[in-house]
Amino acid sequence: MTTIAEDVLELLRHTGALLEGHFLLTSGLHSARYIQCARVLQYPQHAAALGKWIAARWHDRDLDVVISPALGGIVIGQEVARALGVRGLFGEREQGRMTLRRGFELTPGERVLVVEDVVTTGGSVQEIIRLVQERQATAVGVGVILDRSDGQAHFAVPFQPLATLSVPNYAADVCPLCQQGSQPIKPGSRQR
């Protein structure tokens, strides 16, 4: 019998979501591995299963809303919201700052679960938590498909990834891949 974490990692491998090469991450760090969750989430049955697995960890928290950062967190956030039977929102950057658009609103006191596909540094999740707090709603926790922060991502609320994967990241000036003459590519959804 496999664990959910093992099943998640197998789904990522099976769907080609675990990429090997030289990548420039959203954080500005470099890595030899990249997790492109869109490749697993393109399959509705996998997205639904991942959403249910995240939701199962939070079902007893009396939640009102799931909110995710655009773009990567939208699909999994929607699936978690569906599984929990609550609204699903997403935050977007406007002039470099995370905000709610498209008529989305949070009201004071609403209990909110932040959902993301992959956490590397936790920056996007921190921006969403700040957004929730600015609207006087309550961030109850953070649920993600994969934590690749190597224990470095910390939040002021409970953090529950389905799986973790240790993937070294490097600053550009000490990146061994760059030192070998390789040029990084930026496969993610957010451009700086």
Domain ranges, residue 77: 4-179
In a domain, 105, yes or no: yes
Q: Is 189 inside a domain boundary?
A: no
In a domain, 170, yes or no: yes
Per DSSP, what are the bridge partners of residue 20?
Answer: 33
CB 66 within 8 A of CB 89: yes
Instruction: Dump the DSSP string for 23-81.
Output: EE-TTS-EEEEEE-THHHHTSHHHHHHHHHHHHHTTTTS---EEEEETTTTHHHHHHHH
Q: What residue type is assigned to position 64 of the chain?
A: D
Query: What are 4-39's pLDDT values in tens digits?
Result: 999 999 999 999 999 889 999 877 889 998 889 999
How would you class 103 by CB atoms within 10 Å of its CB: exposed for 0-12, middle for 13-18, buried for 19 or more? Answer: exposed
Average pLDDT of the chain, as a whole number: 92
In a domain, 128, yes or no: yes
Number of domains in the chain: 1
Q: Is the pLDDT of residue 121 over 90?
A: no
pTM of the model: 0.87
* Residue 10 lies inside a defined structural domain of this protein: yes
- The single-letter DSSP state of residue 1 is -
In a domain, 186, yes or no: no
Q: Residue 192: inside a domain, yes or no?
A: no
Give the model's pLDDT for residue 192.
42
Question: pLDDT of 79-112, one tens digit each?
Answer: 999 999 999 999 999 898 998 999 899 999 999 9
**Residue 11 belongs to a domain with what CATH number?**
3.40.50.2020
Residue 69 in any domain: the answer is yes
- Per the structure block, which two tokens stand in for 137? 């709603």
d(C-alpha 175, C-alpha 173), whole Å: 6
Interval 47-70 mean pLDDT: 96
Q: Supply the pLDDT for residue 151.
A: 84
